[in-house]
């Protein structure tokens, strides 16, 4: 076990299902004992994020930093960075954090800022990934865990999970199938990153 605790800070905007999957894996697999790692805080840019309630129920500290209270994206990111840095994070994990981050923010966490995207990158960056995969006639879809860089959804790939696109799928059914794999692959990728630190 590492001498110093490897703090994880998770950023969410919504229901935080990937955050819950990571938190449950951390408890079940004893990341604290085996890796010296634990989730220090879950931060949301929305006070009504359902994920905050889930985090609290799991005994995890939470914070809210409302982006609407800031005059610019840069001002919000600066305040967010200050808040995150107060936890001395080994990893900053984006789990449905619906904000495009400024290059300065991303650079500050180079190599320790991780995201999951609901497509098999480099295909279908951005939004509406499931419908775009169906429209393109893809036979498979999936999710990608990657390091975050200044180029949206273009960072180094850490892990991927593949699911079939079935006849009759719509964006909702495909998204649900992909999400079950996100909940498997994201905690595993985070654990691998922590073990390497």
67, 117, 130, 183: the active-site residue: 117
Cβ atoms within 10 Å, residue 1: 11
117 flagged as catalytic = yes
How many Å separate Cα 9 from the centre of its chain?
A: 10
Q: What are phi and psi of 39, to 5 degrees?
A: -80, 115
Question: Six-digit token pair at 147?
Answer: 């390091």
Name the E strands within the chain. Answer: 6-12, 37-44, 62-64, 89-94, 113-117, 140-147, 157-164
Say how many Å lie between the first and final Cα of the chain, rounded: 11
Annotated catalytic residues are: 117
């Amino acid at each position: 076990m590492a001498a110093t605790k490897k703090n994880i800070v998770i950023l969410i905007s919504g229901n935080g299902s990937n955050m819950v999957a990571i938190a449950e894996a951390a408890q079940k697999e004893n990341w604290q004992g085996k890796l010296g790692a634990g989730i220090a805080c879950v931060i949301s840019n929305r006070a009504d994020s359902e994920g905050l309630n889930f985090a609290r129920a799991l005994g995890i500290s939470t914070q809210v930093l409302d982006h609407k209270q800031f005059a610019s994206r840069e001002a919000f990111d600066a305040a967010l960075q200050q808040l995150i840095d107060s936890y001395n994070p080994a990893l900053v994990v984006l789990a449905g954090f619906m904000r495009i981050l400024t290059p300065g923010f991303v650079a500050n966490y180079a190599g320790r800022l991780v995201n999951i995207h609901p497509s098999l990158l480099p295909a279908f960056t951005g939004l509406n990934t499931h419908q775009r995969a169906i429209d393109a006639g893809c036979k498979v879809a999936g999710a990608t865990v990657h390091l975050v860089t200044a180029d949206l959804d273009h960072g180094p790939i850490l892990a991927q999970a593949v699911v079939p696109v079935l006849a009759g799928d719509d964006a909702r059914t495909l998204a649900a199938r992909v999400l079950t794999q996100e909940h498997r692959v994201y905690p595993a990728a985070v654990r691998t990153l922590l073990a390497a630190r």
